[in-house]
Amino acid sequence: MSEWIGVEQACERLGVKQATLYAYVSRGVLTRRKTDGRSVFDAAEIEALARRGRPRRRAGTTDLVIESAITMLGEDRHYYRGRDAIELAATWRLEDVAAWLWTGEAEPGERAPFAARPEGLAAARDAQRGLPAGVLPLERLHVIVAAMAAADPVRLNFEPAAVQRTGTAILGGMVDALPDPGARKPRRPLVPELHVRLWRKLAGDGADDRLEDVLRFAMVLLADHELASSTLAARVAASVRADPYAVVTAGLGVVSGALHGGASLGVEALLAEIDEPHRAAHAIGERLRRGERISGFGHAVYKGGDARGEALLDRLRRTMPGNPRLAVADALLREAAHHSLPPMNVDFALGLLTHLAGMPRGAGEAIFGIARTAGWLAHAIEEYTSPTRLRLRASYTGPFRGAEVDTVGT
C-alpha cells in the first residue's frame, strides 16, 4: 500500500518550492490527491523523482525554468510575492499591486496618480486619428504604447526607479489615450484611480456603476501570472535590453492569442449570441459539432479549477443578484459540465463582466492587457537587474545539404 506525504515533506525531499511541486503536477510528472482538504503525494513517486534529479517531460512539451521572486502559482490560484492575489483583490487597486510587484515593499495607500507625460499622451491620441472604425481596444493599445515610446527621450534608463516611473506613465497613458465616450456620457472630473478611468472609457450606456468595483477586482487578479506566454515574451524582450515600452509591446503582441488573453473575446461572442438560458445548449452544441474550442473553459495549470474565475464570478453574483444575464451564464456552465468540458477559467468571468457592463467588443482582452502590464514590467525590472540571458535553442529536424557548418547560435 502506498504511503502518502504532505506538501512540505514532498518539497523538502525534492528540494523545490511549492510552486515547482504543483507545476510538476500540472505537467503530469507527479500524482496528487486530496485527503481531508490537504494535498498529498505518493512517497514512492516523490522518491523516484528525487533520484532521477529532474522531472520527465510529457511528449511535445518544453520546460523553461527561470528563478523569479514575483509570482508563485499554487494548485488553484496565484500569489504575488507570497500574498494570495484573490485576497489582495478584495481591497487593493491595480496601482497598489503594481507597486508591490515592482518593489516588494509598497503597501496600499495614497500615491501619485499613474499618468502619462503630456507629450506622450498627446502623441498617443494623435496616432489613433487615422484608425478605421471598429478597431478593437487592444489594437489601439499597440498604437498608444508605440506612440508614447517615440515621445519619451529617457525610455532607455533601466534603473529600477526609472522603470517604475516609466511604468506609471505607460499604465496611465494606456487608459487615458483610449477614445473618450464623448457625448454619450457627461464629462466628469479626472480621478486618480486607473480602474475608475478605465470604467469611464469602456462601460456602456446605462451600465450599473456597481460593476466599477468588480473591474477593480478583476484588474488586480490579472496583474501577473508567473511565466504565462505573454510574460515570457516580455521577459525575453527585457533580457536583450529592450526598453520598457518595447517590453509591453511584446506582451501585447502575444496577449491577443485566442488561447491567452484573447479568450475573453470568444466568451463575449458566446454570450452575445444567447438571448435566453435555453439557447445555451444549442450554442455549445453547434460549436462542438464544428470542432471549435469553447473559450473560457480549461487551464494549462489549474486542472481542477481556476479559483480566480470562481472569485470573479462570485463577485459578479453578489454585485448583480437576479440579473437575467447571470442565468444565461449559469446555463452555459451547466451545459459545459454536461459535455464534460474542463472547469471554467478567469476568461469566462472576465467576458461575463464586460458583457454585463455593455462594454465594446474586445474590452476583455484590453482589460487583460492593461492589468498584465503591471506584471510585465515587474518581470522586466527583475530581468534588467539580474539578467538570465534567455536564449532558447531549437532541435533541428529539417533537411541538410552541404558541407559541415558550425551550428552554434548567437
Query: What value does the CA radius of gyration of the chain take, rounded to a whole number of Å?
Result: 22
If we measure between CA atoms, which residue out of 70, 72, 57 comes closest to residue 16? 72
Does residue 347 have an active-site annotation? Answer: yes
Q: Is 244 in contact with 170 (CB distance < 8 Å)?
A: yes
In this structure, what are the phi and psi dihedrals at residue 267, rounded to the nearest 5 degrees? -65, -45
* 193 torsion bin: left (phi>0), alpha (psi -120 to 50), beta (else): beta
The distance of Cα 280 from the centroid of its chain, to the nearest Å, equals 27
Among 299, 306, 355, 379, the one annotated catalytic:
299
If we measure between CA atoms, which residue out of 293, 294, 386, 380 comes closest to residue 333? 294
If we measure between CA atoms, which residue out of 22, 12, 16 comes closest to residue 307? 22
Amino acid at 379: H
User: What cell numbers appear for 403 in the block?
Assistant: 558541407
Which class for 27: exposed (0-12), middle (13-18), buried (19 or more C-beta within 10 A)? middle
Among 76, 176, 306, 347, the one annotated catalytic:
347
In this structure, what are the phi and psi dihedrals at residue 48, rounded to the nearest 5 degrees? -65, -40
What contacts 142, CB < 8 A, 6 or more positions away?
249, 252, 253
If we measure between CA atoms, which residue out of 60, 155, 156, 62 comes closest to residue 117? 155
Catalytic residues: 299, 347
